[in-house]
Copies of this chain bind each other. A is one copy, B any other.
Amino acid sequence: MKGMPRNAEDARYRLQIAALELFTQNGFDQTTAAQIAARAGVTERTFFRHFPDKREVLFGGQEILSAALTASIRQAPADLAPIAVLRRAFADVTQLLEDNRRFSEPRQHIIAANPALMEREVAKHAALVGVVAGALQQRGVAPARAAFAAQAGMAVLGHALDLWFADGTRPLSQCLAEAFAELDLFVTPGHSA
């Protein structure tokens, strides 16, 4: 977190690790903020300085992804088409996502197992699609077209992440290339399933 001292960043990181371990072991509903704090070796007060509740421990990473995507979209060459801008942005965040896999993979399982978390994930994802669409609009893309590109693009990223989680051996960059290739196949009418 920007502007936080190094030991605060460490505490935040330890809290995230501890939360994922406890959620995975005991279930999300059975885990308390106090237990997470204890496992991370910090006070409950420190927990609540970093996260408003135990749920938000699972969603902190999305702000970082959102900021990285919008920064890349802003910096893309002016003549690139919307989906090419997004392809470039996904390449720019690949390392960030690779570095984050030890969080994002267990996180995905925890969220999929809990309808309330799933609902929150859906809302957060929609917000992220909205942010990406807004960043495209700031490049002069018309609102409807920006929304569409953001939805289609984020569907590609989501599919790439699915492929990546399903197969522990391939780098994310390869899964992204495969997902874009599938989008290509989709638009070729009459192609066999």
Report A's interface with B, CB cutoff 8 A.
79-85, 87, 119, 122-123, 126, 139-141, 144-145, 147-149, 151-153, 155-156, 158-159, 162-163, 166, 179-180, 182-193
- Determine the chain B residues whose CB is within 8 A of the CB of A82 once the complex forms: 186, 193
A144 touches B122 (CB 8 A): no
A83 touches B186 (CB 8 A): yes
- Which of B122, B162, B186 sits near A152, CB closer than 8 Å? B186
Main secondary structure of the interface of A (DSSP, over half): helix
Q: By CB atoms of chain B within 10 A, which of A152, A188, A191 has the most? A: A152
B184 touches A187 (CB 8 A): yes
- Which of B80, B87, B151 sits near A151, CB closer than 8 Å? B151
Bound-complex Cα distance A152 to B83 (A): 13
Copies in the complex: 2
Bound-complex Cα distance A188 to B149 (A): 13
Can you report 8 A-B residue pairs in the complex whose CB atoms are below 8 A from each other?
A: A79-B193, A80-B192, A81-B190, A87-B189, A147-B159, A148-B156, A148-B159, A152-B155
B84 touches A191 (CB 8 A): yes
Instruction: Look across to chain B and name the residue whose beta carbon is closest to the beta carbon of A179.
Output: B148
B182 touches A148 (CB 8 A): yes
Instruction: Look across to chain B and name the residue whose beta carbon is closest to the beta carbon of A84.
Output: B189
Known: A122-B122, A126-B122. A83 touches B155 (CB 8 A): no
- Determine the chain B residues whose CB is within 8 A of the CB of A139 once the complex forms: 193
Instruction: Look across to chain B and name the residue whose beta carbon is closest to the beta carbon of A165.
Output: B144
A144 touches B123 (CB 8 A): no
A158 touches B162 (CB 8 A): no
- Which of B79, B87, B119, B187 sits near A183, CB closer than 8 Å? B187
Bound-complex Cα distance A187 to B158 (A): 16
Q: In angstroms, how far is the closest chain B Cβ from the Cβ of A181? A: 9
Q: Which are the 10 A-B pairs with shortest beta-carbon distances?
A: A151-B155, A83-B186, A148-B159, A144-B162, A81-B191, A122-B126, A184-B187, A81-B193, A152-B155, A183-B187
